[in-house]
Amino acid sequence: MLASLEHRVLKFLCRICFPFTRFAIFVVYFWFGVLKLVGLSPAEALVKQLWSQTIPFIPFHGFEIFFGLYEMAIGIIFLLPGKERIALYLLIPHMIMTFGPLVLLPDFTWKSFMVPSLSGSYILKNLTIIALAIAIAANAGGFQKQKA
């Protein structure tokens, strides 16, 4: 009986795994993008610091709007089955930029060696998004089905 229940639960989890993963990435990206658009992002100080170190020749307000819209687009595209590659290609430069402060702004992102600040923790959690994106890409590519 317990094995049957476990089997049903696992079958249910397999059915919802990728739709839920897509939805979770959508929520994070869309929400954070909206917060940037309305000037309420908790990461604004970090984004402003990174901007000033990398592309100060672009007006910050315009960059912040572009970055917010870019994040929202990534989120929306992850919801669209068959468009995973587009979302993943958009995700790559976003993640490079997102991880930039760990190297470019060490005083902002690290308390001491290998001890992240709150901002550093905020950045490191993106490894989870990368792992979920890899899982979506592998599933969308049909590699799992072809191997079996």
Q: What is the tens place of the pLDDT at every residue in 88-125?
A: 999 999 999 999 999 999 999 999 999 999 989 989 99
Rounded to two decimals, the pTM is 0.85
pLDDT band with cut points at 50, 70 and 90 for residue 81: confident
Assess whether pLDDT exceeds 70 at residue 143.
no
Q: What is the tens place of the pLDDT at every residue in 10-65?
A: 999 999 998 999 999 999 999 999 999 999 999 899 999 999 999 999 999 999 99
d(CA 61, CA 116): 28
Q: What is the pLDDT of residue 30?
A: 98
Q: What is the pLDDT of residue 37?
A: 95
pLDDT band with cut points at 50, 70 and 90 for residue 145: low
Q: Where are the domains of the chain?
A: 20-138
pLDDT band with cut points at 50, 70 and 90 for residue 134: confident
Q: Contact, 32 vs 146, CB < 8 A?
A: no
Q: Within 10 Å of residue 71's Cβ, how many Cβ atoms?
A: 24
pLDDT band with cut points at 50, 70 and 90 for residue 140: confident
